[in-house]
Amino acid sequence: MHILIQKVMDLNESNTWNFIFMLLLAILVIIMIVKFKNRRTTILANKIPGPDGLFLVGILPVVIQGPEKFLTNCSKLYRMYEKSLFKVWLFDRLLIVLTQPEDIEFVFTNPKLQKKSKEYSILRESIMGQGIFTNDDIQKWKNNRKMVSGGLSFSMIKSFIPIFYEEANVLSEILNKKCDLKSKECDISIPVSMATMEMIGKTALDVTFNAQNNSRHRFIDNLQTTLQTWEYRITHPWYLSKTLFKWSKVSQKHDQSQQIINEFTDEIINEKFSKLNQNTEGNHKRNLETDDEVIGRKMKTVIEILLENYHGMSHKQIREELITIMIGGQETTAMTNACTIFMLAHHQDVQDKVFEEIQTIFSTGDRDRPPTYEDMQQMTYLERVIKETLRLFPPLPIIARKLEEEMKIGKHLCPAGSSLLISPLYLQSSPEYYADPDKFDPDHFLPDACHDRHPYAFIPFSAGFRNCIGIKYAMVQMKTVISTLVRENKFSPSDRCPTPEHLRLMFLTTLKFVDGCHVKIERRGRDLQ
């Protein structure tokens, strides 16, 4: 670009105007070609409700105002048109936003609509590569998903509970150490994030990161940079072009973070692969002779399953699957655990009910014992609390699919080449499906309320064929963490964030805090337990 500007400056005035005229003419010709090529798309789009946006740029001014403003701007737009699906333009990209659960179910369960939209190319070009979240080779996606699911089986998840409990206790100690001595205030977002990082490491990867004893971790630090890059490319859509992105100011930072994350994951793979190769027949025999409880823990972890397929998968493919698992297991539960504690702090009546339920479950025998899976099944009110938190704070606020062929969705014929957008964040806070949707009310998930509501009006983990494979893992982990923290501590609003409305959120592909998540923490007296 600077070379082009220099050439223009070198021209005399007459030639300069001629050059500008020819440049504008060339741009106009390109626009006309694009318009002609997309004429069918334009004709069908004109029949779909929604704003036309500004000439050529569409709704670019709405999405370019930063990751925090992005959420509020999109919310206003969604509420204007949520009575049906609607369209928005972003340059020449047609985005069709689905707002009706029936239409969302149609898309999520349609075998022809399983590929991710063009916007996901930024994840494929980054650390996630062709992991199961982004892979559009459907057969390869099915095979890899089946392998990863093997490490998150019911038996494995049950065996993870002692690990979740141990790390939750460490987290409780750290939170009490970090809170201010006078105000008792603490930003819980980073400690919770570190705890979930340790949990996913020990359970899925059989690796100890020692994350909780460090205020920072290179994976999490560099993941934050990567998430910021993804948001930047989505909200500056000309950077969806890999070539143009290379010239951007954030490309170099992203590449550095990607290299660090890749090297970190390679270390895990190499270390684990080396250990697996050192296993002897005697070790295998001893494993077979252990009791049932130990056998459950000796079942193969996700990383072991992937490494067993080392000859069928490249090192790069294994790395991309592991990074996908770490992001999925760390980002989703970290956000939900922190938000659940925050909402309990601001709703003392709900926190009291959670505490009473826990006290009832642990009323006999050793009151300080670790929880069991059977205990988890009895935490019905806590489960409703977690689901209500996921309703208001879905970790993945926007999901998108590629429409490869012209298709009728609802009452509208949607053109091929469009991106279909589904927003759990706005869908789940809609008055169309929830009474008093802004109120934090676990009764939204009473059996009768769920029965009367379309099941696709609550999709925090996506749904259909490509739903999150870690739903059960996440729920058991979150129940263990929240119940353990509430058994030991009482949470209340901080002066820095006195109401839920003061909690600032932003879109970084996932939902993230702008400036942390602050609450007050006090140890519960033993006489109260």
| Tokens read off for 93 | 């990209």
| Tokens read off for 151 | 């490490």
| Tokens read off for 196 | 């979930």
Cα torsion through 18, 21, 27, 28, rounded to 10: -140
Dist CA 170 CA 194 (whole Å)? 11
DSSP 100: -
Alpha-carbon distances, residue 510 vs 210, 334, 473, 478, 516 (angstroms): 25, 11, 19, 18, 15
- Contact in structure between 78 and 99 (CB atoms under 8 Å): yes
Please say whether the dihedral angle defined by the alpha carbons of residues 290, 291, 297 and 298, taken in this order, is positive or negative. positive
Strand-pairing partners, residue 96, are: 87, 420
Other C-beta atoms closer than 10 Å to the C-beta of 259 total: 12
Dist CA 368 CA 358 (whole Å)? 11
DSSP 133: T
For residue 339, say whether it is annotated as part of any ligand binding site: no
Other C-beta atoms closer than 10 Å to the C-beta of 404 total: 12
Tokens 């992001």 label which residue?
327
* Burial status of residue 30 (CB atoms within 10 A of its CB: 0-12, 13-18, 19 or more): exposed
Dist CA 398 CA 231 (whole Å)? 12
Please say whether the dihedral angle defined by the alpha carbons of residues 406, 407, 413 and 419, taken in this order, is positive or negative. negative
Rg of the chain, C-alpha, whole Å: 25
Q: What is the DSSP string of 435-481?
A: SSTTS--GGGGSHHHHHHS-GGG--BTB-GGG--TTHHHHHHHHHHH
| Tokens read off for 2 | 């600077």
Dist CA 478 CA 475 (whole Å)? 5
Dist CA 63 CA 26 (whole Å)? 28
| Tokens read off for 529 | 């337990």
Dist CA 409 CA 500 (whole Å)? 36
Dist CA 478 CA 364 (whole Å)? 23
| Tokens read off for 182 | 């006078």
CA–chain centroid gap for 385, Å, is 19
Closest CA to 344 of 460, 474, 490: 490
Annotated binding residues for heme: 468
Annotated binding residues: 468
